Amino acid sequence: MSAFPLAESWTAWPAPAKLNLFLRITSRRADGYHELQTVFRLLDWGDAVFLRPRLDGRIGRVGAPVAGVDEAGDLTVRAAKMLQTAFNVRSGVDIGIEKRIPMGGGFGGGSSNAATVLVALNRLWRLGLGEDQLAALGQTLGADVPVFVRGFNAWAEGIGERLQPLELPPAWYLLASPGVHAGTAELFQAADLTRDAPPATIAGFLSGTALGNAFEPVLRRREPAVEALFAALSSIGRPRLTGSGSGCFVEFAERHSAQRALAALPAGLLSSGTTVWLARGVDRSPLLDAVARYDTGASPSG
């Protein structure tokens, strides 16, 4: 039974995970940020965000806290307060999260949660903001937030905010998290991080010549658990790192192949504390489908 029952005025909204199918850093900017190239792939799996509007203007988290994240630093709370302040909203909201996406894994959980709050509250508070406005607001919370707001797979450049829709073939993914929390800011400062890679092209990515992740060699050298995970996953396919986290994935053309690979993993992998599961790549974010249902008067959760 959900901790946030719909009968008590909660609405449920999906916050899908993402993968970075490759990630390349091409330069370091004068402001300290990095120019990068990546491909975002959205998944049919992720967290669930629950929202319950309030009349007293209060905004806060309800339910179990997220480990290592206080309420003031929670991106969902910050997203709601930003909307409230920017548009003089008198309403408030209770926010609950059913967390499935591992923290620090590079699957985009925090950014996706924040995007879902922005998109859903735009409906619940009747703000009437467009996608571009919401994406611009989201970018102030994190470079990955706009792709979740827009809800499509994309080729991304800049700091990850310049998005070009990209059609990707159907795929299933075996995902694995070793339970290591990789600090993004620390990794971007790593002395052994390659920051001057030659720019890639979409054609190069689609042909398979532009793959790899700039953070992979850094994390594999620093974290024995990540190196061990790569070794284990290499027995079933080509493992890749996602984002700047410790999460890894192997891509398959269809579900049956992914299931067979899951069954063939070394027996000791799960006993090491690593979590492994399957997810399907999607062309359209489940969040957009939830918004469409809400706009027709149905429950966003289907």
d(CA 146, CA 10): 25
Q: Which pLDDT score, from 0 to 100, does residue 272 have?
A: 73
81 is catalytic: no
Burial class (CB in 10 A: 0-12, 13-18, 19+), 193: middle
| pLDDT one-digit tens code per residue, 273-285 | 899 999 999 999 9
Q: Within this chain, do residues 214 and 159 fall inside the same structural domain, yes or no? A: no
Q: Tell me, yes or no, whether 298 lies in a domain.
A: no
Q: Within this chain, do residues 109 and 33 fall inside the same structural domain, yes or no? A: yes
Q: Within this chain, do residues 53 and 12 fall inside the same structural domain, yes or no? A: yes
Contact 76/70 with Cβ under 8 angstroms?
no
Q: How confident is the model at residue 218 (pLDDT cuts 50, 70, 90)?
A: very high
Q: How confident is the model at residue 1 (pLDDT cuts 50, 70, 90)?
A: low
- The percentage of the chain sitting over the pLDDT mark of 90, rounded to a whole number, equals 79
Give me the catalytic one of 18, 47, 74, 94: 18
Lowest mean pLDDT among 131-140, 143-152, 186-195, 252-261: 186-195
Q: Within this chain, do residues 219 and 138 fall inside the same structural domain, yes or no? A: no
* One-letter identity of residue 71: E
**Mean pLDDT of the chain, nearest integer:** 93
**In the listed set 118, 141, 166, which residue is the last one of a domain according to the structure?**
166
**In the listed set 150, 166, 182, which residue is the last one of a domain according to the structure?**
166
Q: How confident is the model at residue 287 (pLDDT cuts 50, 70, 90)?
A: very high
Domain count, the chain: 2
Q: How confident is the model at residue 49 (pLDDT cuts 50, 70, 90)?
A: very high
Give me the catalytic one of 94, 144, 196, 289: 144
Of the candidates 62, 69, 123, 72, which has an alpha carbon nearest to the alpha carbon of residue 98? 62
Q: Which pLDDT score, from 0 to 100, does residue 38 have?
A: 97
Q: Within this chain, do residues 214 and 191 fall inside the same structural domain, yes or no? A: yes
Q: Within this chain, do residues 154 and 210 fall inside the same structural domain, yes or no? A: no
What three-state secondary structure class fits 182? coil
Which domain CATH number covers 209? Answer: 3.30.70.890
Of the candidates 232, 109, 246, 231, which has an alpha carbon nearest to the alpha carbon of residue 180? 246
99 is catalytic: no
**In the listed set 166, 190, 221, which residue is the last one of a domain according to the structure?**
166
What residue numbers bound the domain in which 51 lies? Answer: 6-166
Q: How confident is the model at residue 67 (pLDDT cuts 50, 70, 90)?
A: low
